[in-house]
Chains A and B, each alone.
Chain A
């Protein structure tokens, strides 16, 4: 293996370094599963796997949107608030209009999320506010709107139609409905990022903004698109959240952005934009959700999950930085060696 790596040409080495990430997450996932199967009661039970699958599904749906934003060298901190607000809109609509088709409720949620994401995109691309500040502000604003609409009250499962409540528990083809939706979002998201020209521009913009301008890519419009998609998927996430946790108040999904960003960062999306895959993000989401579930079963306090998420972000970014630096060094040395191996230029 080592000998093989030594013999690689510089560009092959660079390509190989990125495949390591996905293998790393899978290995970590195995380690985590082995650990919890000894330490956490009921971890290996089928019902627990369903819990994990449902939780991870919501994370995946929102993380796919977040990935698009991070690829463009931006970040969307408001997704937790969008999920919470949209979840409440779904529940409130169904509570007030019990006859409303469920698909219609989902569309309301997605449309609302899209609108909120559009606002983020406009603030960043047109208002030229750094994404971290713009979406920190909208995180607070959207949460405030949520609080105003709920008016301190909450909606409970009793107020919602059974058709909706049975959605999360249903298992078409033996697989939780939420997981089907997450798989669909991930597949469509991955295909979009691979095959749709404007989505390829996300990578170009994040990889080198100046070069993107030289290449005639309309960066502003693309960034607005990325934020709008992130918002829309957070809206869909809100719909799924309401079906999974039907008792809702204005604090629903509070702090959810941390889980989502952890999944994205662990999944290998470069926080400086330009690289990352949906496969990695899905694996990252599974890892985060599994650990969170294990913590719950071990009856650890909620704060430990938050602690772990923060810790995981720092660890992932540090490892990335170290790997990049080592890679850069290796590439520089290899090229220097190539230069030395060549004959000196004859003086004119």
Chain B
């Protein structure tokens, strides 16, 4: 009997269908890989299985019995544990206490039984073949050790189903090997593992069964040995490109931005590329490949450990966003709701924020000039709002996105970095944003477009850069950039069969 069976699971968020009618089964004591592009619906499924969200339709069966998993606690009771990378670690507490936080072993006097706790933690860790002192603080541990700690925690609750989401994203080769050994040990003990990874070679090495999702739909569930990596890629991408975006031809000019050997230790290394005037360059790669991190470092949000940047032939050291803005660089962050806008302020206040000094030569605010500026961008970007005085919080996600765009355009940048500019917006707004981006390029603006949506990258870009594991691994011309080529580079797979 299957350990877990999904029957017709559907879930939509405000009109966007995240998961549609997904059915498949997971057999006990197997490693079941879940693969698919960003946005294929993997995380939504995980959230449904762990009780974080409830499906709109469909049924979950555990051991053949229908269950409803309303919250994280009941998922835990059913033996379902998801491994989160960061939120569950207490850096100040010891390894042993991290394993048992919230459910300390008690002595007869109802006090914390430290000896039993450390003994039990040591036993579990030894079983995993891990050398972590049970009494040492977690603060000193690296990502790999923290993950093993998470596994130890799961084991201490007698988990039956362990969900690992991109566990190897930040691990070194040796650590990955060790993790794989651990996963195999778990399987021998009868634990079932749902393994989510973008690294298809890992899937081939580790998984017994592979389930492919695409655009929220279930595409295939087959034994791993029957599927080659090339075949998995073919199943992952088969997405149609018909809803393509109108890209206007822009005149591509001289090199205006050049990065050489950009490095941030442990995050990305030796990233070199150049951007030309009027060019849209797509930066592709899976989540966690280091794209956003590179953008943040260029914009002066995070420090660089090495490398050189030249803007329009002159050296540039990204010390702060302010310095970057002064050199004509603007960055539209991925998390626009938090980093891009001041929610309780009006459209005009938000639009003028980055250009206030230029707008207020006397040192006093000029509300009329601010409104004029806001109106200009409301028109140019077709922002749907009643007036520039409308509060940003009351706008839809797509319109908020456009306000952020307007805010940075007001600074009249020559190079614009867009990080997931259409993430979570509806189709109509998406087309609007694309039209705007394309139009800006024809006006001589240089655009670096970070996106996890392949069609968007392929449709908009003159050139595509691909990152994987903190390195730039491919540079493809518009002609070379096909879905297969980009995915292969991003997943680290040699030419598919």
Residues of A with Cβ closer than 8 Å to B?
Answer: 9-15, 18, 194-197, 200-201, 203-204, 206-208, 210-212, 214-217, 270, 274-275, 331-333, 335-336, 338-339, 342-345, 347-348
Asked whether A11 and B140 contact (CB < 8 A) given A207-B92, A208-B90, A336-B265, the answer is yes
Contact with A along B133-158 (1 / 0, CB 8 A): 10011111110000000000000000
Asked whether A216 and B102 contact (CB < 8 A) given A11-B137, A335-B142, A342-B173, the answer is yes
Chain B residues near A333 (CB-CB < 8 A):
265
Are the C-beta atoms of B174 and A342 separated by less than 8 Å?
A: yes
Cα separation A339 to B112 with both chains bound (whole Å): 37
- CB-nearest residue of chain B relative to A192? B111
Kindly provide the distance from the CB of A266 to the nearest chain B CB, expressed in whole angstroms.
Answer: 19
Chain A residues near B133 (CB-CB < 8 A):
11
Asked whether A339 and B172 contact (CB < 8 A) given A14-B136, A15-B137, A197-B104, the answer is yes
Q: How many residues of B contact A (CB 8 A)?
A: 43
Are the C-beta atoms of B88 and A215 separated by less than 8 Å?
A: yes
Chain B residues near A275 (CB-CB < 8 A):
92
Are the C-beta atoms of A204 and B137 separated by less than 8 Å?
A: no
16 extra A-B contacts, CB within 8 A, seeds A212-B102, A214-B87: A9-B140, A14-B140, A196-B111, A197-B104, A200-B97, A204-B93, A207-B93, A208-B91, A211-B87, A216-B103, A270-B92, A332-B266, A336-B265, A338-B172, A342-B174, A347-B494
Kindly provide the distance from the CB of A326 to the nearest chain B CB, expressed in whole angstroms.
Answer: 13
Chain B residues near A214 (CB-CB < 8 A):
72, 84, 87-88
Chain A residues near B136 (CB-CB < 8 A):
11-12, 14-15
Cα separation A9 to B139 with both chains bound (whole Å): 12
Are the C-beta atoms of B174 and A274 separated by less than 8 Å?
A: no
A-B CB contact pairs (8 Å), 26 listed: A11-B133, A11-B138, A11-B139, A12-B136, A14-B139, A194-B114, A195-B114, A196-B112, A200-B101, A204-B90, A208-B88, A208-B90, A214-B84, A215-B101, A216-B73, A216-B76, A217-B101, A332-B265, A335-B266, A342-B172, A342-B174, A348-B200, A348-B201, A348-B229, A348-B492, A348-B493
With beta carbons under 8 angstroms apart, the residue of A10, A13, A195 that contacts B142 is A10
Q: Is the interface of A mostly helix, strand, loop or mixed?
A: helix
Are the C-beta atoms of A203 and B93 separated by less than 8 Å?
A: yes
> At the interface, yes or no: B235 with Cβ under 8 Å from chain A?
no
With beta carbons under 8 angstroms apart, the residue of B87, B138, B139, B173 that contacts A343 is B173
Chain B residues near A14 (CB-CB < 8 A):
136-137, 139-140
- CB-nearest residue of chain A relative to B177? A345
Kindly provide the distance from the CB of B232 to the nearest chain A CB, expressed in whole angstroms.
Answer: 13
Asked whether A339 and B87 contact (CB < 8 A) given A197-B111, A200-B112, the answer is no
Cα separation A208 to B132 with both chains bound (whole Å): 21
Kindly provide the distance from the CB of B95 to the nearest chain A CB, expressed in whole angstroms.
Answer: 8
Chain A residues near B138 (CB-CB < 8 A):
11
Chain B residues near A336 (CB-CB < 8 A):
265-266
Cα separation A212 to B173 with both chains bound (whole Å): 32
Are the C-beta atoms of A211 and B90 separated by less than 8 Å?
A: yes
Cα separation A127 to B456 with both chains bound (whole Å): 46
Cα separation A11 to B149 with both chains bound (whole Å): 14
Chain B residues near A194 (CB-CB < 8 A):
112, 114
> At the interface, yes or no: B123 with Cβ under 8 Å from chain A?
no
Kindly provide the distance from the CB of B430 to the nearest chain A CB, expressed in whole angstroms.
Answer: 32
Cα separation A10 to B131 with both chains bound (whole Å): 13
Chain A residues near B172 (CB-CB < 8 A):
338-339, 342
Cα separation A10 to B104 with both chains bound (whole Å): 26
> At the interface, yes or no: B176 with Cβ under 8 Å from chain A?
yes
Chain B residues near A335 (CB-CB < 8 A):
142, 266
Chain B residues near A345 (CB-CB < 8 A):
173, 176
Cα separation A216 to B141 with both chains bound (whole Å): 24
Kindly provide the distance from the CB of A71 to the nearest chain B CB, expressed in whole angstroms.
Answer: 9
Kindly provide the distance from the CB of B53 to the nearest chain A CB, expressed in whole angstroms.
Answer: 16
Contact with A along B86-127 (1 / 0, CB 8 A): 011111110001000111101000111010000000000000
- CB-nearest residue of chain A relative to B171? A339
Chain B residues near A212 (CB-CB < 8 A):
90, 101-102
Contact with A along B153-187 (1 / 0, CB 8 A): 00000000000000000001110100000000000
Are the C-beta atoms of B493 and A208 separated by less than 8 Å?
A: no
Cα separation A297 to B311 with both chains bound (whole Å): 64
Cα separation A274 to B91 with both chains bound (whole Å): 8
Kindly provide the distance from the CB of A79 to the nearest chain B CB, expressed in whole angstroms.
Answer: 24
Which 3 pairs from chain A and chain B are nearest by CB?
Answer: A14-B140, A348-B201, A11-B140
Chain A residues near B91 (CB-CB < 8 A):
207-208, 274
Are the C-beta atoms of B141 and A10 separated by less than 8 Å?
A: yes
Cα separation A347 to B492 with both chains bound (whole Å): 8
- CB-nearest residue of chain B relative to A209? B87
Kindly provide the distance from the CB of A72 to the nearest chain B CB, expressed in whole angstroms.
Answer: 12
- CB-nearest residue of chain B relative to A9? B140
Cα separation A14 to B142 with both chains bound (whole Å): 12
Cα separation A9 to B104 with both chains bound (whole Å): 27
Are the C-beta atoms of B88 and A339 separated by less than 8 Å?
A: no
Cα separation A200 to B72 with both chains bound (whole Å): 22
- CB-nearest residue of chain A relative to B135? A15
Are the C-beta atoms of A15 and B140 separated by less than 8 Å?
A: yes
Contact with A along B177-205 (1 / 0, CB 8 A): 00000000000000000000000110010
Kindly provide the distance from the CB of B431 to the nearest chain A CB, expressed in whole angstroms.
Answer: 37
Residues 460-474 (chain B) with a chain A CB within 8 angstroms: none
Cα separation A33 to B39 with both chains bound (whole Å): 66
Chain A residues near B104 (CB-CB < 8 A):
197, 200
Asked whether A201 and B173 contact (CB < 8 A) given A194-B112, A207-B92, the answer is no
Of B87, B139, B204, B492, the most chain A CB neighbours within 10 A belong to B139
Are the C-beta atoms of A195 and B492 separated by less than 8 Å?
A: no
Cα separation A212 to B88 with both chains bound (whole Å): 7
Chain A residues near B173 (CB-CB < 8 A):
342-345
Are the C-beta atoms of A197 and B112 separated by less than 8 Å?
A: yes
Cα separation A339 to B176 with both chains bound (whole Å): 12
Cα separation A13 to B93 with both chains bound (whole Å): 15
Chain B residues near A344 (CB-CB < 8 A):
173
Kindly provide the distance from the CB of B379 to the nearest chain A CB, expressed in whole angstroms.
Answer: 42
Kindly provide the distance from the CB of B175 to the nearest chain A CB, expressed in whole angstroms.
Answer: 8
